[in-house]
Amino acid sequence: MSSLNIVARNSKVFAAQICRNQQFGASNRHASSSAKVGFVGLGNMGGHMARNLMKNGHPLIVFDTVPDSMQAIKKEGATLASSPQEVASQTNLIITMLPASQHVLDVYTGSSGILGSVQKGSLLIDSSTIDPSVSQQMAEESTKVGATFVDAPVSGGVNAARDAGLTFMVGSPDQSFGKVKEILDKMGKNVVHCGSVGTGQAAKICNNMLLAISMIGTAETMNLGMKLGLDPKLLAKILNMSSGRCWSSEVYNPVPGVLDGVPSSNDYQGGFGTALMTKDLGLAQNAATATQSPTPLGSLSHQLYRLMTNSGYAGKDFSSAFQFLKQQDKK
């Protein structure tokens, strides 16, 4: 056979292979875009995240310890599971959104936990905010049963969760990040690879320490300005066009009536609870101690939120720092 004929034949074979690969890739993308997702944890954040997955065509199998949360999402088309273990038996892609480290340990390694029936090759994405060492422990345990665990805590608040505008901070192996990003893009606008497992948690606890500090500063500033006779909406406007501008003043102002659609204008209901902020600040302080990092404002913020948690504010949004400070005026 002449060299020209060989080249022509190889070109046809190569073109056919490209066609098959493109068809296979399209099939994979289609399968991925409609893959069944397991979701455990349907609280203020998780419920919105799960719904955004359904809006993007993903069938869901869900579990939560609160029956009302389960029934609400069932009406929207989700399938209910009786345990995290049942979720894991039905799908190889699972997202968890839980309050604290102990909940993550229970959901993954408890008697009815995910790792008890996880399928080999499963991808487990935990969006809880927990101790980085617990994320690393769960990654090790998952590897033993042939699954991949990554940490992907979030920032942005309940409104961002509702509007698919979250920021995800991801700690994962390099080879897993592409698949992780593909699913997280359905729930957020920023998906950042921070490094190996645990680094997502490190980024999150640093962010939340700053958030707590800025919220307390905003609450103190708004309270002082109002005592000096300033209208709170006017003061907020001035802050947000000046050097004092921050997320806590502009997007999540703690004074009732300054902004619509935020917890402060709903008696501090919903949102990110004071008890959860206290927990996150505790994680930050543990990390500061372990790394011998000076965090005086972080420590003071932790003390204030601990006091709020023990003074009836545990279930209120963390922006209730403003309400708490105003009450101190009267003492």
Do 60 and 187 share a structural domain? yes
Give yes or no for a contact between 252 and 157, defined as CB atoms under 8 angstroms apart: yes
Domain count, the chain: 2
Burial 221-253 (b: 16+ CB within 10 A, else e): bbbebeeeeeebeebbeebeeeebebbbbbebb
Question: Hey, which bits of 173-268 come out as E strands?
Answer: 188-195
Question: Hey, which bits of the chain come out as E strands?
Answer: 37-40, 60-63, 79-80, 93-96, 123-126, 148-151, 154-155, 166-171, 188-195
Do 82 and 175 share a structural domain? yes
204 is catalytic: yes
Final residue of a domain: which of 173, 196, 219?
196
Do 190 and 75 share a structural domain? yes
Give yes or no for a contact between 126 and 150, defined as CB atoms under 8 angstroms apart: yes
Final residue of a domain: which of 165, 196, 227?
196
Do 127 and 38 share a structural domain? yes
Give yes or no for a contact between 38 and 90, defined as CB atoms under 8 angstroms apart: yes
Do 286 and 232 share a structural domain? yes
The first and second tokens of residue 251, run together, are: 């997007």
Name residue, tokens 């509702």: 162
| Residue 63 identity | F
Question: Does residue 15 lie within any of the structural domains?
Answer: no
Do 210 and 152 share a structural domain? no
Enter the pTM of the model.
0.86
CATH number for the domain harbouring residue 314: 1.10.1040.10
Determine which one of 204, 279, 316, 331 is catalytic. Answer: 204
Final residue of a domain: which of 143, 169, 196?
196
CATH number for the domain harbouring residue 82: 3.40.50.720
Q: 90 lies in which domain range?
A: 33-196
- Distance, in Å, from the CA atom of 27 to the CA atom of 52, rounded to the nearest integer, reads 22
Do 46 and 187 share a structural domain? yes
What is the pLDDT tens value at each position of the chain, 331 positions in all? 443 343 344 444 334 443 433 333 333 333 356 899 999 999 999 999 999 999 999 999 999 999 999 999 999 999 999 999 999 999 999 999 999 999 999 999 999 999 999 999 999 999 999 999 999 999 999 999 999 999 999 999 999 999 999 999 999 999 999 999 999 999 999 999 999 999 999 999 999 999 999 999 999 999 999 999 999 999 999 999 999 999 999 999 999 999 999 999 999 998 999 999 999 999 999 999 999 999 999 999 999 999 999 999 999 999 999 999 999 977 6
Question: Does residue 11 lie within any of the structural domains?
Answer: no
